[in-house]
């Protein structure tokens, strides 16, 4: 066992194959002590080592259940924060590359959301009338804000349930940071577009008049995912002109115009399940992250299913891509040597309030529909 922490420099130039060996050996030594979680958007070189794979909802539920001492999260920063908040003080969450963030999550921060809340309070009684909902793709202190205000969190899998619940509790919703998920979900629930308003956080009062705030049922934070915003309705038109029988499936982080042209709108899990359940020989045009689409293409080609990526340019999540075999091997080798690198921790107060919002999310997600 090494006395000191192994520096990343010694892994920087290692080949992928050497790193694979290190990761395999570390997994054999650490056994059940270490759980490796892999988000669907991870590159295959890393994804292949995950003990559990899934989207944000599934992985957060798994993090809440595991007894493993170490949770190595092959995802992005907000996911590791969620895992830390849902596990005990003794469990340690590690993000192989600490710079693996989410550009969408960075579009909302606590001071900006508090300022928005103050502005809303100058027009109406925000605490009584507005339910704050944050997408899970957000910093822990925004989840805590929602917990403090009686609000909750959603993922792309449960957004409809969460938004329905929110609107059954209060007149309006402030939805952050992804305007597209908010708009697509609200529209699916039958809320007209003229009852939604974009909150431009760079402008006073979100760039809205008091009348516009009063009229809106859903206030959409002006944030977006840099990956999913690259898909455009023309991509669908061009593809269908060539393959008229193809089906289109889009993640709800894609813009409204793309989702309106899609046959199916859904989270990464829904995309996977829908293509899996489709008839052999079917053809799909998919609007979501490239690594997932490429994996689906490989997974289903033996059934003669064709799974094509929607954008003509490469569009992958560059922050997920930061987690490479070198970083994974580095953190695993350190664990074998009793050293912890890149631990992600959230302070107690933030955890307490954020967990209120997370627990509320789990309850709403798993509540049985009333008959
Ligand atoms: S795909 Fe978009 S929303 Fe998802 S982690 Fe990457 S930047 Fe964030």
Residue with CA closest to ligand 1 atom 3: 225
Tokens read off for 79: 């996911």
CB of residue 319 inside a 6 A radius of ligand 1 = yes
- From the CA of 253, give the closest atom in ligand 1: 3
Which ipTM was obtained for this model? 0.99
| C-alpha to C-alpha distances, 94 to 21, 37, 52, 79, 147, nearest whole angstrom | 20, 10, 15, 11, 25
Residue 43 zone, left/alpha/beta (φ > 0; ψ -120 to 50; rest)? beta
Mutate to test the pocket of ligand 1, among 42, 82, 227 (most ligand atoms within 8 A of CB): 227
* Ordered DSSP codes for 102-146: -TTGGG--HHHHHHHHHHHHHHS-HHHHEEEEEESSS-HHHHHHH
233-263 tens-digit pLDDT? 999 999 999 999 999 999 999 999 999 999 9
Residue corresponding to tokens 């890149």: 342
| C-alpha to C-alpha distances, 1 to 5, 237, 331, nearest whole angstrom | 10, 59, 15
Residue with CA closest to ligand 1 atom 2: 225
Q: Please state which CATH class domain 228-309 belongs to.
A: alpha beta
Residue with CA closest to ligand 1 atom 8: 102
Residue with CA closest to ligand 1 atom 1: 317
| Cα–ligand 1 centroid distance for 215 (angstroms) | 31
289-319 tens-digit pLDDT? 999 999 999 999 999 999 999 998 877 899 9
| DSSP label of 301 | G
Peptide bond into 139 cis (omega under 30): no
Whether 9-100+320-340 and 105-225+352-366 share one fold: the answer is yes
Residue with CA closest to ligand 1 atom 6: 317
Q: Please state which CATH class domain 105-225+352-366 belongs to.
A: alpha beta
Residue 224 makes CB contacts below 8 A (sequence gap 6+) with 104, 107, 178, 179, 180, 253
What are the residue ranges spanned by the domains of the chain? 9-100+320-340, 105-225+352-366, 228-309
Report, as ranges of residue numbers, the positions in the chain whose pLDDT lies below 70.
1-2, 368-371
Task: Say what the pLDDT of residue 228 is.
Answer: 96
Q: For domain 9-100+320-340, is the CATH number 3.10.20.30?
A: no
| Cα–ligand 1 centroid distance for 102 (angstroms) | 5
Closest CA to 347 of 59, 112, 52, 110: 110
CB of residue 346 inside a 6 A radius of ligand 1 = no
């Amino acid at each position: 066992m090494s006395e000191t922490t192994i520096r990343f420099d010694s892994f920087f130039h290692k080949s992928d194959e050497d790193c694979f060996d290190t990761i395999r050996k570390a997994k054999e030594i650490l056994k059940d002590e270490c759980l490796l979680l892999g988000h669907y958007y991870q590159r295959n070189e890393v994804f292949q080592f995950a003990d559990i794979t899934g989207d944000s909802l599934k992985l957060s539920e798994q993090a809440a259940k595991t007894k493993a001492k170490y949770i190595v999260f092959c995802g992005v920063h907000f996911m590791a924060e969620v895992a830390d908040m849902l596990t005990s003080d003794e469990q340690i969450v590690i993000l192989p590359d600490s710079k693996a963030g989410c550009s969408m999550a960075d579009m909302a921060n606590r001071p900006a959301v508090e300022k928005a809340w103050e502005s809303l309070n100058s027009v109406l009684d925000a605490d009584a009338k507005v339910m704050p909902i944050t997408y899970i793709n957000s910093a822990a202190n925004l989840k805590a804000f929602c917990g403090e205000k009686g609000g909750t969190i959603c993922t792309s899998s449960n957004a409809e349930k969460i938004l329905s619940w929110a609107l059954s509790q209060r007149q309006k919703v402030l939805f952050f940071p992804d305007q597209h998920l908010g708009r697509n979900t609200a529209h699916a629930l039958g809320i007209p577009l003229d009852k939604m308003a974009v909150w431009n956080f760079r402008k006073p009062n979100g760039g809205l008049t008091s009348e516009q705030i009063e009229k809106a049922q859903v206030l959409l934070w002006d944030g977006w995912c840099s990956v999913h915003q690259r898909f455009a309705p023309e991509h669908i038109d061009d593809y269908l002109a060539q393959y008229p029988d193809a089906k289109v499936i889009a993640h709800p982080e894609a813009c409204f115009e793309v989702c309106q042209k899609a046959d199916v709108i859904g989270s990464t899990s829904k995309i996977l399940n829908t293509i899996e359940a489709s008839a052999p020989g079917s053809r799909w045009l998919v609007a979501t992250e490239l690594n997932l689409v490429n994996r689906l293409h490989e997974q289903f080609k033996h059934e003669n299913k064709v799974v094509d990526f929607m954008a003509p340019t490469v569009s992958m999540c560059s922050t997920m891509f930061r987690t490479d075999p070198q970083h994974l091997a580095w953190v695993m080798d350190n664990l074998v040597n009793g050293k912890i690198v890149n631990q992600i921790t959230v302070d107690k107060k933030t955890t307490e309030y954020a967990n209120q919002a997370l627990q509320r999310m789990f309850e709403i997600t798993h509540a049985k529909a009333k008959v």
